[in-house]
Structure 1
């Protein structure tokens, strides 16, 4: 009796499995797209990609909103601390300036950002919160969001830097550094976005904004006096943006783009005024020169008709100029200096001018590296 019951159960289970498989097979056949499996797969992939991009866009918007709220919180907390001491110069205007509607025009005569935050300690005043001719900057068109981000991050960093300079390090909180560096990264990315558009032929309408933004970043990072260093993750993001900007400078081939190249070089030089950024910037610039030198050496050794990268070769002048200007008080690995000097000897016959510049840069940085030893000996 027990065996018959087990046999019945096994038969019922087997019948259930056959029916289930048949149901699934019929469902698959009915759901088979009429256009074909390939078309259905491509359509499904496109839909999923659009959904993913939509979620990424929403996440970016939420991250921007969160950063803006944290910026306002830091400013409010700093203003409250300053009020307990001496009272800030009309600090409520600063918060109102940061929280204004993005669709408005940023005009210095109505934004409330023309606040002259001067130093009570007898030092030179900070940079003006509103860049020169900013009343002419109208945030509109397809790049309006980028312009809004650039102006707002710039204003936050300028306001915070001015308050800290006036009221001392007592306004600084360790947790604020995370927001400050996120703002620096976002501001640098906004500046770079303008140069990305210029690289594909778009005009740069307001270069004074870019100059002022890089001045604000250099001032925020201490102008060579800060002891606050970022996390490795954030600083690697800054390095990536610097590398991209230098690559845009070296590969720029638009006609009559000398003004854009000069502006990009000026912005990089301003960022290099910060001790936090200078060493990394110099290392990146030297690495690009060494890569170009290797390319030129390969051309010399190649027996085939390998095409020379004339665009990078011509634009390398800007890199040499920046390296020369940044050579004072900059520590560089001796290996990089040795590679520059060795590459200069190798290319002296075929590319004498490029070789001479490499030798000069190597000598400048080797002299800088020897100065501390000379000081100790004296």
Structure 2
């Protein structure tokens, strides 16, 4: 039946071929037309899927906190006035986003003090107060626009939890268990967007990218949400970490180091979660070990080695060292934070590798030695 169908299609193409055009040219023309139509439908489908997810996000936020969005509620103003929010304590209670970052990646996630004072004295804008304390920079690129919906949703989710804990809002987080797919899809969308950013970075880095990273880190370190996110999105988070590691290893552009340092910082921030740190260490150890073996083999055979990968491997060593140091500083974490098999494989004959590479590659050998010291000290402890 399949052969007959193909034969019938071939006859139909030949019969409908316009004069002056060969069969091959006509088939290529038809293939191009079908491909363009498929691409158009695919784009439309992606837009519709994004809109459906946005509506699910809004619905979930309304279920968790009915007063989340009050613009269209006629009785909202009366209800909000009954909250009796203390203006002086309100701004002091919303100090930060819950994400402690270094100075080069810091941002004001909750706006300026003047925004709070203005909203305190403006009754008409009080119904939009939740949106006012969660500003996002205006997006100027398509890559930023793809991140807007998940970042806004997750940021709102985090702030609703904080406000509910402080008695400012009433929220029912049991809805998270019933609609876990929305959070999972939102986190996946955020991770995919960050991967696109880091795969083809533009300079200077937008502060919006920093906001997206800090929202992600706040989510995975939050006491209420971290277990839920890890349970539903662990595989996606692992894939995200693998992608970032490969970007660090494979990127060869001349001006790559600013972007690679940003990726390294993101991975270190993800390591603040103990479970993700364990997974990340397990991913980094074999990559560093494999390159050390390849470099040793190239050195012994006097063969060429990948200079770009050699330069980039130092970033992985720095990340690995930082994660192991963080692990050592947390006395309440068990010494088997990274899997024993991974440590054994990494340390196997490592002294010999360091010895053979120390003359030609002293800096890389030093990093290997420092990582081995941290692993051995953890094992001893």
- How far the C-alpha of 1:178 sits from its partner, in A, is 2.3
Aligned-partner Cα distance in 1 for 2:352–2:222: 38
Query: Given the alignment, which residue of 22, 30, 49 partners 2:15?
Result: 30
- How far the C-alpha of 1:65 sits from its partner, in A, is 0.8
Query: Given the alignment, which residue of 50, 57, 66 partners 1:71?
Result: 57
Aligned-partner Cα distance in 2 for 1:24–1:227: 55
Question: Bigger shift: 55-64 or 29-38?
Answer: 29-38
Query: Cα distance 1:290–1:310, how it changes in 2: closer, same or farther (>3 A)?
Result: same
Which aligned pairs between 1:102-251 and structure 2 lie closer than 5 A?
118=93, 126=98, 129-130=109-110, 137-140=137-140, 144-167=141-164, 170-172=172-174, 173-198=176-201, 202-206=202-206, 208-223=207-222, 226-228=226-228, 230=230, 234-251=233-250
Contact kept? 2:279, 2:338, Cα under 8 Å:
no
Contact kept? 1:72, 1:95, Cα under 8 Å:
no
- How far the C-alpha of 1:211 sits from its partner, in A, is 2.4
Aligned-partner Cα distance in 1 for 2:148–2:29: 40
So what's the TM-score if we normalise by structure 2?
A: 0.69
CA RMSD after TM alignment? 3.6
Structure 2 partner of 1:347: 353
- Secondary structure (helix, strand or coil) at the match of 1:326 reads helix
Contact kept? 1:340, 1:358, Cα under 8 Å:
no
So what's the TM-score if we normalise by structure 1?
A: 0.69
Contact kept? 1:192, 1:241, Cα under 8 Å:
yes
Aligned-partner Cα distance in 1 for 2:59–2:10: 59
Structure 1 partner of 2:263: 264
| CA offsets 1:290-334 (integer angstroms, 9 cap, x no match) | 23223213313546x4x3111111111211111112120472122
| CA offsets 1:239-298 (integer angstroms, 9 cap, x no match) | 222222222222333334433222221122112212343222222222321232232133
- Secondary structure (helix, strand or coil) at the match of 2:32 reads helix
- How far the C-alpha of 1:155 sits from its partner, in A, is 2.0
Query: Cα distance 1:298–1:160, how it changes in 2: closer, same or farther (>3 A)?
Result: same
Unaligned runs of 5+ in 1: 1-22, 84-90, 97-114, 372-378
Aligned-partner Cα distance in 2 for 1:281–1:46: 43
Aligned-partner Cα distance in 2 for 1:72–1:25: 51
Structure 1 partner of 2:168: none
**Paired positions, count:** 308
- Secondary structure (helix, strand or coil) at the match of 2:287 reads helix
Structure possessing the higher relative contact order (Cα contacts under 8 Å, 6 or more residues apart): 2
- Secondary structure (helix, strand or coil) at the match of 2:200 reads helix
Greater C-alpha Rg: 1
Unaligned runs of 5+ in 2: 1-7, 74-89, 100-107, 113-133, 166-170, 328-332
Query: Cα distance 1:155–1:236, how it changes in 2: closer, same or farther (>3 A)?
Result: same
